[in-house]
Structure 1
Amino acid sequence: MDNMNEIMLDRNENQYGPAPECYEALRKANLEQLSLYSREFLRGRKSELSYTLAQRMGIPEERLLLSYGSEGMLKQVVHCYLHKNEVILLPRQSWWYYKKVASEVFGKEVEYSLIEQNGRFEYDAKQICDLYDKHYPQLVLIASPNNPTGSSISQKDLAAVINHCASAIIVLDEAYYGFTSESNDHLRELLDTHQRLVIMRTFSKYYALAGLRIGYTCVGEGLDQLVAFSARYLGFNQLSEKIALAALNAPEYYRTIAEKMRIDKEMFHNGFALLPGFTVFPSEANFILVRYPVPLKKTLEEGLKQRGIVVKFLNDPGLEDCMRITIGTREQDTSVMNAFNEIVGQGAMGSQAHELVNNR
């Protein structure tokens, strides 16, 4: 099948695309200014985007850092604070790139596990605190919501970890922020009470601007070294900033998309429940984790490939029988669920699942 017609649901991209306001900002951009550096410093700001984000979050602008996606800030944090043989504590069932960045500075990785219980993968604050007492890590990384499990750490458990791991730098990766809640209340409270806290977010997922590579990070008052390390003398990408600002000013567009995704996650949950051996885990992000019968793996891979559907089959320890499916548009999601029904569903169960999808 032509790549242009494939349904690519393997990289957690927002298939709905950015708000119309973003396209309008691009059309209206003054391209003559591309030859000039930012002059925001004349207004007492680092940049218009960082100023706006800081105002919305109720923090000083100097504590709001911009980066090349949250990936860029992850690198900066690790390269700034983690040195050879120093320990970073990170989740086992999570983004492989965390380990890659730690290896760049020859850091020592110690993993904690998300516990499968109550029908989901949950953070275990006691386990994290026990490992902290044993290894005294320089960095403790928490992804919330976590990729690929879709689960978030509770505010109670997060507070317990932060309070217990007092000497460590806590890195909270909120790349999938927004799909369930847009609240910043927890952010301000956390930054006020923990000076060695890093909270990373991005415009790539919720705001559908992955190609622009815009990340932003809030840091506690005890991380002046990171603030200095991340400083940009000549400013940020002005065109990217304008588009990001336009996205911030289109909240209803993104809330509508988040609601469509919520409905489709429910559809997947109900649809897969009718296929023997399949389980969908609850997700607070724009993807779902699906457990499938291992003997069907080759059949699933070949069947999806024939239909031009690309999802992520996982090989991570403990997740070898799982796949991650990005939530796409309504049309894409319906096609994907119907494809599974065709590949797997036989008899009454397949017919019931097909009917459930098409009668939404």
Structure 2
Amino acid sequence: MTGSSLRELLRDDLRDQTAYGAPQLDVPVALNTNESSYPVPAAVVETIARRVGAVASSLNRYPDREFTELRTALAAYLTRTTGTALVADQLWAGNGSNEVLSHLVQAFGGQGRTALGFTPSYSMHPIIARSVGTTWVDGLRGAPSGVFDLDLDRAVEQARETDPHLVFLCSPNNPTGTSLSLDVVEAVYDAAPRAVVVVDEAYTEFARPGTPSATTLLDGRERLVVTRTMSKAFAFAGVRLGYLAAAAELTELLRLVRLPYHLSSVTQAVALAALEHADEMLAMVEAIKTERDRLVAGVTDLGLTPVPSDANFVLVGGFADAHTTWQALLEQGVLVRDVGIAHHLRITAGTPAETEAVLAALATLDRSHRQER
């Protein structure tokens, strides 16, 4: 008598799901995962080595469970860059922003609870929500200003109808690159009175001038959360350090679901080293924004249709079949992202040489790759 298969033993709600993943291929031009193409500066590497060296002899002991020094440094960074006065008790961090998002879902989602997001958006939001049994509701985008924008009235209507326990907003949005006005955040917050409203600002350092952070709305809104990451603007994808800002009462509740000592001594040391050099790290952001804008101009010249972007990537439309074009570019050594939106591919902004390479590859494609208008 044989036992059940492992898939039969899996939770019912996970059996038809697929795992998150993006191709990790060895290609000359990798522009598919929104990593920084710029290496960590030498001065930062030296500080990392110094800080890691300082904790190395004590690795036989658990790390600071409260990561107090790191929370203080993150609060100082946000206070300086957003103009919002924050203190350490309002900050929380994890191994990448995905872990921070997971803590939020574990604390405020779960069986019998509902999360609302507005599609297309970051694909990990529904995966993380469903991982603990939260019912996911795909809200709809679309506004007079653009098909990928989020209309205030439409968002409010969906929030009231769903009455969720969690709402996920993304600004700048991934994969479209579009930012939200703070009016939308405020309106959705008011329309969902029992929801923790999460504004995912993973790409906010790349936003064009005049794009405000939702951290400016935190005062007086105990259910509002703003998540960030060091993977993008800080060129730290390999470190895995994400964080959030919220009311101190909310961050205190996250201690109920975090694993013990979840941030290693080494992770804390490396993140502190980067924050010591925040200005130097963020100087790379300006270079990437320049390449993003070059990419927008270049694909427009080729007759394609870029979505206005406040991120370190551009969603480009105008392809007859996105996956066919994705494969054709890969055959030229250029890896971009097929995000599942018809006629569109997402392209990370990289170095000047990478911008030239992807534009050259696109220029070689024949008319069969173009969407009929």
Name the residue aligned to 2:38. 16
Are the structure 2 counterparts of residues 188 and 6 from structure 1 closer, same or farther at C-alpha, using a change threshold of 3 Å? Answer: closer
Aligned residues: 335
**Which has the higher mean CA deviation after the structures are superposed, 285-294 or 112-121?**
112-121
Which stretches in structure 2 are left out of the alignment for 5+ residues?
Answer: 1-24, 80-84, 369-373
In structure 1, the residue corresponding to 2:255 is in which secondary structure?
A: helix
Letter in 2 for 1:281: V
**Residue 184 to residue 157, structure 1, CA distance change in 2 (3 Å):** closer
Aligned to 2:309: 283
Pick from 76, 85, 99 the counterpart of residue 55 of structure 1: 76
- The 8 Å contact of residues 97 and 242 in structure 2, kept in 1 or not, is answered as yes
- C-alpha separation between the residues in 2 aligned to 1:326 and 1:161? 30
3-state SS in 2 of match to 1:312:
coil
Pairing 1:309–2:330 present? no
Alpha carbons 2:226, 2:244 under 8 Å: kept: yes
Q: Confirm or deny: 8 A CA contact 1:280 1:290 kept in the other structure.
A: yes
**Aligned match for 1:180, one of 207, 217, 235:** 207
**Could you tell me whether the CA contact under 8 Å between 2:104 and 2:254 is conserved in 1?**
no
Letter in 1 for 2:76: Q
Structure 2: distance between partners of 1:4 and 1:203: 24
- Tell me the alpha carbon deviations over residues 67-114 of structure 1, each in whole angstroms, 9 at most, x when there is no partner: 010000111111211122321110110122111122222222222222
Q: Which runs of 5+ in 1 are unaligned?
A: 347-360
* Alpha-carbon distance, 1:285 to partner: 0.8
In the alignment, is the contact (CA less than 8 A) between 1:114 and 1:121 conserved in 2? yes
Letter in structure 1 aligned against 2:141:
L
Whole-angstrom CA distance in 2 between matches of 1:296 and 1:281: 15
Alpha-carbon offset, residue 137 of structure 1: 0.4
Whether the 8 Å CA contact 1:196–1:222 is kept in 2: the answer is no
Structure 1 residue aligned with 2:137? 110
2-structure distance, mates of 1:252, 1:224:
27
Q: Which amino acid aligns with 2:337?
A: K
What SS does the corresponding residue of 1:331 show, helix, strand or coil? Answer: helix
Q: Give the 3 Å change call, closer, same or farther, for CA 27–313 of structure 1 in structure 2.
A: same
Would you tell me which structure has more helix in proportion to its own residues?
1
CA distance in structure 2 between the aligned counterparts of 1:16 and 1:228, rounded to whole angstroms: 35
Cα distance, 1:194–1:338 mapped onto 2, change above 3 Å: same
Q: Which amino acid aligns with 2:307?
A: F
- The 1:324–1:87 alpha-carbon spacing in structure 2 relative to 1, beyond 3 Å, is same
- Using the size of structure 1 for normalisation, the TM-score is 0.84
Instruction: Give, in angstroms, the shift of residue 296 of structure 1.
Output: 7.3
State the 1:214 CA deviation: 0.6
- The answer on whether the counterparts of 2:321 and 2:342 sit within 8 Å (CA) in structure 1 is no
Aligned partners of 2:360, 2:275: CA distance in 1, in Å?
A: 35
Measure the CA separation in 1 of the matches of 2:38 and 2:234.
Answer: 10
After superposition, give the CA deviation of every residue in 1:30-58 in whole Å (9 maximum; x if it has no partner): 2323223346x8xxx74311111123433
Give how far 1:262 is off.
2.1
Structure 1 stretches of 4+ moved >6 Å? 181-185
**Structure 2 CA distance, aligned partners of 1:303 and 1:310?**
10
Listed one character per residue, the Cα deviations across residues 201-228 of structure 1 (whole Å, up to 9, x for unaligned) are: 1111111111111111112245266333
SS at 1:289 equivalent: strand
Give the TM-score normalised by structure 2: 0.81
Distance 1:77 1:303, change over 3 A: same
* Post-superposition offset of 1:275: 2.3
Superposed, which structure 2 residues align to 1:108-147 within 5 Å?
108-115=135-142, 117-118=144-145, 121-147=148-174
Does 1 or 2 have the higher relative contact order (CA < 8 Å, sep 6+)?
A: 1
Query: Using the alignment, how far apart are the partners of 1:154 and 1:86 within structure 2?
Result: 27
